């Protein structure tokens, strides 16, 4: 039997985010909340996080950080399009900030994290620390003494 760490507030945070996440439409600037698609897989002692970030300059617009509980990917997407034809003129701007937080096990080292951006896809590989041996549950006898 394998024991898993229960993180009730992490689950609550995910539920809260899924229930109350919706685009904000503002009349000034037409800001849209941007939420990139994300996949996280864990194999062979490595956590691989893949995020779709098309049209983003990863060096200027994306920041990746890690602390003892989370790998955080945050940034901003800005897109501007202008079409000028004989009888038509269109100028569109879309932008929005995003943040995605992925839980990581205790003991992850920032030195063992590698990020790569290719064709609009950000891939972050996190080397996971070796799992500690789990203590098997056992009964501890109680010694009774009398005075």
In tens, the pLDDT along 7-65 reads 666 566 656 655 654 444 433 344 445 678 899 999 888 999 999 988 888 999 899 99
Report yes or no: 68 and 53 within 8 Å, Cβ to Cβ: no
Nearest alpha carbon to residue 100 among 77, 59, 69, 70: 70
Q: What is the pTM of this model?
A: 0.61
Task: Evaluate whether the domain defined by 8-127 bears CATH number 2.60.40.790.
Answer: yes
In tens, the pLDDT along 107-139 reads 888 888 999 999 999 999 999 888 766 677 888
- CA angle, 62 then 68 then 74, to 5°: 15
- Residue spans per domain, the chain: 8-127
In tens, the pLDDT along 59-116 reads 998 999 998 788 999 988 877 777 788 888 877 766 778 888 898 888 888 888 999 9
């Amino acid at each position: 039997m394998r024991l898993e760490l229960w993180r009730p507030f992490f689950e609550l945070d995910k539920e809260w985010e899924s229930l109350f996440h919706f685009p904000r439409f503002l009349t000034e600037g037409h800001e849209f909340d941007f939420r990139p698609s994300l996949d996280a897989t864990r194999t062979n002692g490595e956590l691989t996080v893949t995020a779709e970030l098309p049209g983003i300059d990863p060096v200027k617009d994306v920041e990746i950080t890690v602390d003892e509980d989370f790998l955080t990917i945050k940034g901003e997407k800005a897109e501007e399009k202008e079409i000028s034809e004989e009888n038509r003129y269109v100028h569109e701007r879309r932008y929005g900030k995003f943040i995605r937080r992925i839980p990581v096990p205790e003991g992850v080292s920032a030195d063992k994290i590698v990020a790569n951006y290719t064709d609009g896809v950000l891939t972050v590989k996190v080397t996971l620390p070796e799992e500690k041996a789990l203590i098997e549950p056992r009964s501890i006898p109680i010694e009774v003494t009398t005075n």
